[in-house]
Structure 1
Amino acid sequence: MSAVQRERLRAGPLVACAIPWIVLLTLPLWPAPIAVPEYWITLLDYIGLYSIVAVGLVLLTGIGGMTSFGQAAFVGLGAYSTAVLTTQYGLSPWIGLVAGIVVTTLAAALIGAVTMRLSGHYLPLGTIAWGLSLFFLFGNLDWLGKYDGINGIPALGVLGWTLDSGRRMYVLIWIVVAVAMLSVRNLLDSRSGRAIRALRGGGAMAEAMGVDTARLKIAIFIHAAVLASLSGFLYAHLQRAVNPTPFGLNYGIQYLFMAVVGGVSHVGGAVLGAAVLTVLQDWLQSVLPRWLGSNGNYEIIVFGVLMIALLQFARDGLWPMVARFVERPRRARRFAAGAALPTRAKPADAEAVLVVDAIRKTFGGLVAVNDVSFRVAAGEIVGLIGPNGAGKSTTFNLVSGALAASGGAIHFRGERIDGRPARKIAARGIGRTFQHVKIMPRMSVLDNVALGAHRRAGAGIWRSMLRLDRHDEARLLAEAARQVERVGLGAHLDDEAGSLALGQQRVLEIARALCADPVLLLLDEPAAGLRFQEKQALARLLRKLSDDGMSILLVEHDMDFVMNLTDHLVVMEFGTRIAEGTPDEIRTNQTVLDAYLGGVE
């Protein structure tokens, strides 16, 4: 099988792959009458328009984890931009398209810079606020026609054809749907896509891998907004008129509902959800008045009940039910030999890689870390031990940048790093694992590990969408595969990470940290959940890394594991360092025996 064929197998659902071919086969019929009733053409047009917006919501909400109720306002920006320029200034609709994209991008960048900083229930409330603001802006500006809107929008012209009806517009609409789906699928199957998936966990893990989460959130917010703007542009030239009604909050909720019903984590679910909701709403509006009379909006009540029932029995949406019939099984990936990723220069022997100088952390009146100092030399394994609540993990998070220090200083290879964000510390050569495992359970082991190499490749979002990142991506995945083999998980390369045992997930985190090519490795309870033989294998791996010049700082409660592995130990109690020395010295330290080991040999 050729490399191209393997890439096509990885492209995902056959539905997404088939749309471009359907469009191409339909092109010769574009200017000619097609033997389909006008009613179905109209439905297909609107399903396509809704699908474009829903695809953006899959990226933003389903994958990125940021709920937005305001996408209808971006549809309005695209529609009004072309409406104003074509009717009031006589410009080409294609200039209106460019203007709509520019206006939407600027608006999304400004709104996203504020809104994407919110979390929890504040984020959806924020999207409701700006969605309502833009809606009332459309309805109150004189030059936008207030609530009467703008009429007389010209038809689109393409290659000499005038798209002056829904029948002539539908092919263009579905070409845009196919391009939108393909762009999002390409993006998700890339370095940037793995980083986007990592946002759902809150971003702490992604930041530790070197991902600029704030910038990434704004980028995908803009991408989803531009897709909504494209839908608005097509809507304006399909309807030949615009007014604020289709750009209100109720439509914003409907777009989100389409993505959720179809399967908010699946690109194919966007089209499925748009189709199901559009057809269902139309059917209810046709049937219920004949059964119940036309004096009440019964279709809204019945529609709501049906949606609640659907979400109760298909909480992941409808796409997973369909996927088994339209998706091909994912095949194991193999990687051709290529140029290796660039590596860091190793520190000199006995170089002080990490120097912690009187570091301090307070939470209000609580002193969690009280002027703790220690150092880690090149190739040295240092253990940070102490009873629960001693401040070990807090110290660990101060070194990695997850927490900001209240006092003192931390130097890494001669550069002061305290106060820097976690992603910048990671970029300088510090990799880490977490006390509570942080992985993406529905992604493969390989893709989880590849996230660790995020800073070792440079392909951005645009190159990923256009699939121009394949060379860099192959090198990155090959490096990830090498690290998976290195830690002994080679047999699970293409398994979902969530299917692994807890001990294997901890080893996966180590492989992910190694994929960043760190100089200093921070391990938070790496042996927790491992069986005896797994611990022995882990100890051999860590000792080999140390022999190769890598420095390791670990927090661990398994004393046998720590005493037989480390070169140096730092003991903490109540946030204070109470002892420091070699394992043999710590074994006989009476202060440690009284405070931590309880006098047991």
Structure 2
Amino acid sequence: MRVLWPLPALALCVVLPWVPGVPVFWVTLLNYIGISAIVVIGLVVLTGIGGMTSFGQASFVGFGAYTTAILSTQYAVSPWLALAAAIAVSAVAALLIGAITLRLSGHYLALGTLAWGVSLYYTFANLDFFGRNDGISRIPPLDVFGTKLIDGRLYFTVIWVGVVLACLATGNLLDSRAGRAIRALRGGALAAASFGVDTLRARMLAFVYAAMLAAFAGWLYAHMQRSVNPTPFGLNASIEYLFMAVVGGAAHVPGALLGAGLVTIVNDRLQDILPKLFGAQGSFETIVFGAILVAVLQAAPEGVWPHLARIRLQRHRVRPDAPPLPVRAPAPRGTPILEVAGLHKTFGGLTAVNNIAFSVAAGEIVGLIGPNGAGKSTTFNLLTGVTAPSAGSVRFAGQPLIGLPARTIARLGIARTFQHVKLVASMSVIENVAIGAHLRGHASALDGLLRLDRAEEARLFAEAARQLARVGLADAADRPATSLALGQQRIVEIARALCLDPVLLLLDEPAAGLRHNEKAELATLLRRLREEGVAILLVEHDMDFVMNLTDRLVVMDFGTKLAEGPAETVRNDPAVIEAYLGSVA
């Protein structure tokens, strides 16, 4: 069905405007809805899925509209060639703006987009090159096979074919390796970076893609209106596009179409009805529409679309015949894999890790234990590049790690889980696990858009399915990740880590929330990994689990190493008993 839906949609784009009884007014209104929908589809990727709020999207519509207006009127460039130029100009502008703005996050990012959105509006309005407030007129209509598209019904087909193509391309992008990186930004950016996702690049991809769709919409707008001026590209328009995304359902592509339709139609109807109702002219629709928006958000905070359609996660049919991914050659057992010396970290006046030193060899399980607040998770963050140490050295297979970003460390073969589970709520179990194999794929965003990545995707998901089966969760592959119990979510994190094909596995409290039988199965899996030559560093508070599994223990207390040695030796150490195990032990 996913493959076939564009065919009837394209047929409808051709036939609908010519159906007897369809008023020309409604065809025109649908044209405006289609143009807005293309912009909002970009916002679905950027804001609803990528988690980046932009108050400047109308400016990119302006880039597209002004580029084609200038090229078509002043340089007699064909509008179709101007389309490529409009998209290119908007993409370059997004790269330049994004290089500065996307280093911000949260409300700072929103304020940053607000600032450049206002700046670009006044740039359009005050430079002679853009025609100042009068804008540019006499833009030629589109010409298709010698037919000038002046009739709104002819133009309807062009606009809505564009909408169908934007939906199709966006669906392809989100269902790809690059798309999973974008989807992981919302709530799972730290975990994604730990598995090799370049989060800044993923943010930039979403930003540029949304800008290119906005430029396409601007090109359509300019040749439909046959003139442009700064008014449709200001802050109010950007806010309206965000309203459309939120009302329709910001995380859903069909919601973009629904939101654009609802906001455009309601605005139009209110402009007709309210002056008659109040007996006076004025911008009453702004007041009433604001109240309607608040009511909709109260009743449907995730937008209208999820309430109209039963949202199902896409089922990934795993191809058992997909060739396996290449694997690393295991290091000989006993080879030093991780060597930590003098590791130190302070946060202001607080010393979280104080001169820690230990090592982990291939085919060895080392436990890192200690009371809450001892600095264990901070140590994990220091080892994986999430946090920079204040002093000390960390070497992996002889290579220094200090100063390397998390994604580079992951590329070397270091995978981890987290003390607090970090799964992407909007993705299925198998999609979350496939993020772990991000570095084992190479398909680009363009490959995803054109669906040239299907063979690689089959291999990535076959690997994800294999690791899920390995940890005993094969039956949960297509379930929402957050629908699982906490203990099962931790096991999903382990499957995701195994998808990296790790040399060193860092597990932060993997047995927390597991039942007795599940802990036994986890211990069996870890012993099997040890036999395969994987080095494992384990943080865990379940002493029975740790004592019966590990080869050595490193005990931390207030950031300092208290003891190190075989489990039995550490168990009987008086200092460890006093600080952590307690006298009963």
Fold shared, TM-score > 0.5 on shorter chain: yes
Structure 2 equivalent of residue 581 of structure 1:
565
Structure 2 equivalent of residue 349 of structure 1:
333
CA-to-aligned-CA distance 1:236-288 (integer Å, 9 cap, x gap): 00000000000000000000110110000000000000001111111111111
What's the offset of the Cα at 1:86? 1.0
- Is residue 104 from structure 1 mapped to residue 90 from structure 2 by the alignment? yes
Letter in 1 for 2:221: Y
Distance 1:596 1:29 in 2: 74
- Is residue 466 from structure 1 mapped to residue 450 from structure 2 by the alignment? yes
Query: Aligned pair in 2 of structure 1 residues 128, 421: CA closer, same or farther (>3 Å)?
Result: same
Letter in 2 for 1:345: A
- Is residue 120 from structure 1 mapped to residue 141 from structure 2 by the alignment? no
The answer as to whether partners of 1:20 and 1:175 remain within 8 angstroms in 2 is no
- Is residue 23 from structure 1 mapped to residue 46 from structure 2 by the alignment? no
State the secondary structure of the residue aligned to 1:339: coil
State the secondary structure of the residue aligned to 1:268: helix
What's the offset of the Cα at 1:23? 2.3
Q: Note the 1:296-335 alignment, pairs <5 A.
A: 296-324=282-310, 333-335=317-319
Structure 1 equivalent of residue 32 of structure 2:
46
What's the offset of the Cα at 1:348? 1.6
Q: Note the 1:23-422 alignment, pairs <5 A.
A: 23-24=10-11, 26-27=13-14, 36-201=22-187, 203-324=189-310, 333-422=317-406
Distance 2:508 2:19 in 1: 67
Query: Aligned pair in 2 of structure 1 residues 80, 409: CA closer, same or farther (>3 Å)?
Result: same
Alignment RMSD (CA, Å): 1.6
Structure 2 equivalent of residue 5 of structure 1:
none
Query: Aligned pair in 2 of structure 1 residues 29, 184: CA closer, same or farther (>3 Å)?
Result: closer
Distance 1:28 1:307 in 2: 33
Identity of aligned residues (%): 58
Q: How many residues align structurally?
A: 585
Query: Aligned pair in 2 of structure 1 residues 101, 404: CA closer, same or farther (>3 Å)?
Result: same
Letter in 2 for 1:357: A
CA-to-aligned-CA distance 1:293-336 (integer Å, 9 cap, x gap): 23332211111111111110011111112213xx7885563423
Q: Note the 1:422-441 alignment, pairs <5 A.
A: 422-441=406-425
State the secondary structure of the residue aligned to 2:212: helix
What's the offset of the Cα at 1:600? 2.4
The answer as to whether partners of 1:138 and 1:244 remain within 8 angstroms in 2 is yes
What's the offset of the Cα at 1:290? 1.3
Letter in 1 for 2:169: S
Q: Which residue, 400, 422, 432 being the options, matches 1:448?
A: 432
The answer as to whether partners of 2:9 and 2:164 remain within 8 angstroms in 1 is no
Distance 2:204 2:144 in 1: 33
State the secondary structure of the residue aligned to 1:255: helix
What's the offset of the Cα at 1:18? 4.0
Letter in 2 for 1:255: Y
What's the offset of the Cα at 1:378? 0.4
Query: Aligned pair in 2 of structure 1 residues 456, 329: CA closer, same or farther (>3 Å)?
Result: closer
Distance 1:590 1:29 in 2: 83
The answer as to whether partners of 2:416 and 2:505 remain within 8 angstroms in 1 is yes
Distance 1:90 1:209 in 2: 50
What's the offset of the Cα at 1:371? 1.1
The answer as to whether partners of 2:188 and 2:422 remain within 8 angstroms in 1 is no
Q: Note the 1:472-511 alignment, pairs <5 A.
A: 472-511=456-495
What's the offset of the Cα at 1:535? 0.8
The farther-off stretch of 267-276 and 200-209 is: 200-209
State the secondary structure of the residue aligned to 2:275: helix
Q: Which residue, 543, 547, 554 being the options, matches 2:531?
A: 547
What's the offset of the Cα at 1:191? 1.5
Query: Aligned pair in 2 of structure 1 residues 299, 19: CA closer, same or farther (>3 Å)?
Result: farther
CA-to-aligned-CA distance 1:409-452 (integer Å, 9 cap, x gap): 10001111111111110111001000000001232111111110
The answer as to whether partners of 1:165 and 1:238 remain within 8 angstroms in 2 is no
Distance 2:258 2:392 in 1: 56
State the secondary structure of the residue aligned to 1:337: coil
Q: Which residue, 502, 507, 512 being the options, matches 2:496?
A: 512
The answer as to whether partners of 1:20 and 1:178 remain within 8 angstroms in 2 is no
The answer as to whether partners of 2:188 and 2:423 remain within 8 angstroms in 1 is no
Letter in 2 for 1:581: G
- In the alignment, structure 1 segments of 5+ residues that lack a partner are 1-7, 12-16
Query: Aligned pair in 2 of structure 1 residues 592, 166: CA closer, same or farther (>3 Å)?
Result: same
TM-score for both structures, normalised by structure 2: 0.97
State the secondary structure of the residue aligned to 2:55: coil
What's the offset of the Cα at 1:599? 2.4
Distance 2:320 2:516 in 1: 36
Letter in 1 for 2:269: W
Distance 2:293 2:312 in 1: 29
The answer as to whether partners of 2:508 and 2:538 remain within 8 angstroms in 1 is yes
The farther-off stretch of 472-481 and 584-593 is: 584-593
Letter in 1 for 2:265: V
CA-to-aligned-CA distance 1:489-530 (integer Å, 9 cap, x gap): 112111111110010000010000001100100000111111
Distance 1:370 1:511 in 2: 32
- In the alignment, structure 2 segments of 5+ residues that lack a partner are none
The answer as to whether partners of 2:13 and 2:156 remain within 8 angstroms in 1 is no
State the secondary structure of the residue aligned to 1:347: coil
CA-to-aligned-CA distance 1:191-249 (integer Å, 9 cap, x gap): 22221111011511110111000011011100000000000001000000000000000
State the secondary structure of the residue aligned to 1:570: strand
